[in-house]
Amino acid sequence: MTRSKRWSFTIFTLFFLNACQSNAQKDQVLYRDAVLNYSIKQSDLDKYLSYRNISDTVGKTKDYITILKWAMVRLHPQWGPVLHKKQATYEGAIADAEAFFIKRHLVSKILVIKSKRKMYLLKDSNIVKSYSIALGPNPVGQKEYEGDGKTPEGTYTLDWQRWNSTTFHSFHISYPNQADSARAKAKGLQVGSNIMVHGTSKGLKRKKDWTNGCIALSNQDMANFRELVFQDTPIEIRK
């Protein structure tokens, strides 16, 4: 092979390798779900952006990937029909995922004012919805120990929920945190637990402040609450 041919071959090889590397990087995996066994690649994101004619992606890529996660579940050949009763089209899956994304972000925070017996669902600083609430039999002040009848004060998270319970649905509040546990331990007390936002037992009407320290809504309000609020939503409880 002559020198010029070797040089041409080298240039071609480098061009080919760079092209392959460029394509691999372009279609990199952006998200992988090990449970449902699917991936979202750069090509999936590009397809969505093209489909919706989106050019502005600055600071929004994470949101678009979240939408694609929900769309991919709807399009999943195994789980889509099981979870959503039918196999969706791409257009239908995207529309459903976008609608769910909007709904999922209607409420950014829950604020509870114990003294007013009120709960407010907030989007940033704007009130989306308000509810009357019931507390425990001894609601004034910070919760100190198990069985004191108080509702804790502070900032927590709705970290899990229960569909089948003695009350009409319930969301668990991430109490106790480290400060709550340390406060109870310093006083030689057993820290409280199992603090919830929940409805009423078997749909019965209750008198004011009937819980063991939880935050109770009417069943009608609880049905509305669970349509607007999702797990991992922060909740601030004030005196």
CATH number, domain of 167, equals: 2.40.440.10
From residue 189, give the alpha-carbon distance in Å to each of 116, 145, 168: 29, 6, 31
Rounded mean pLDDT, 14-38: 69
- Whether residue 125 sits in one domain with residue 48: no
- Whether residue 91 sits in one domain with residue 35: yes
Cα within 13 Å of Cα(151), Cβ side: 29
- Whether residue 138 sits in one domain with residue 75: no
Contact 173, 158 (CB under 8 A): yes
Instruction: List pLDDT tens digits, range 130-164.
Output: 999 999 999 899 999 998 999 999 999 999 998 87
Alpha helices in the chain (DSSP H): 3-26, 42-51, 61-75, 79-84, 90-104, 178-186, 219-228
- Label residue 169 left, alpha or beta by phi (over 0 means left) and psi (-120 to 50 means alpha): left
**Nearest residue to 67 (alpha-carbon basis) of 84, 87, 45, 50:** 45
- Whether residue 152 sits in one domain with residue 37: no
Lowest mean pLDDT across 52-66, 195-209, 219-233: 195-209
- Whether residue 119 sits in one domain with residue 63: no
Q: What was the pLDDT predicted at 146?
A: 92
Q: What was the pLDDT predicted at 206?
A: 65
Other beta carbons within 10 Å of 152: 21
Q: Is residue 190 over pLDDT 80? A: yes
- Whether residue 172 sits in one domain with residue 231: yes
Q: What was the pLDDT predicted at 20?
A: 45
- Whether residue 74 sits in one domain with residue 54: yes
- Whether residue 119 sits in one domain with residue 98: no
pTM of the entire predicted model? 0.73
**Nearest residue to 112 (alpha-carbon basis) of 184, 224, 228, 217:** 217
Residue with tokens 């678009």: 64
Host domain of residue 168 = 109-238
Name 181's bridge partners: none
Domain boundary among 62, 81, 104: 104
Q: Is residue 205 over pLDDT 70? A: no
- Whether residue 118 sits in one domain with residue 37: no
Instruction: List pLDDT tens digits, range 219-230.
Output: 999 999 999 999
Q: Is the bond leading into 77 cis (omega within 30 degrees of zero)? A: no
**Nearest residue to 94 (alpha-carbon basis) of 122, 136, 66:** 66
Widest distance between CA atoms in the chain: 97
- Whether residue 122 sits in one domain with residue 229: yes
Domain boundary among 104, 137, 156: 104
Number of domains in the chain: 2
- Whether residue 120 sits in one domain with residue 161: yes
CA 192, chain centre distance (Å): 25
Distance CA 23, CA 4 (A): 29
Q: What was the pLDDT predicted at 83?
A: 64
Domain boundary among 104, 121, 150: 104
- Whether residue 72 sits in one domain with residue 121: no
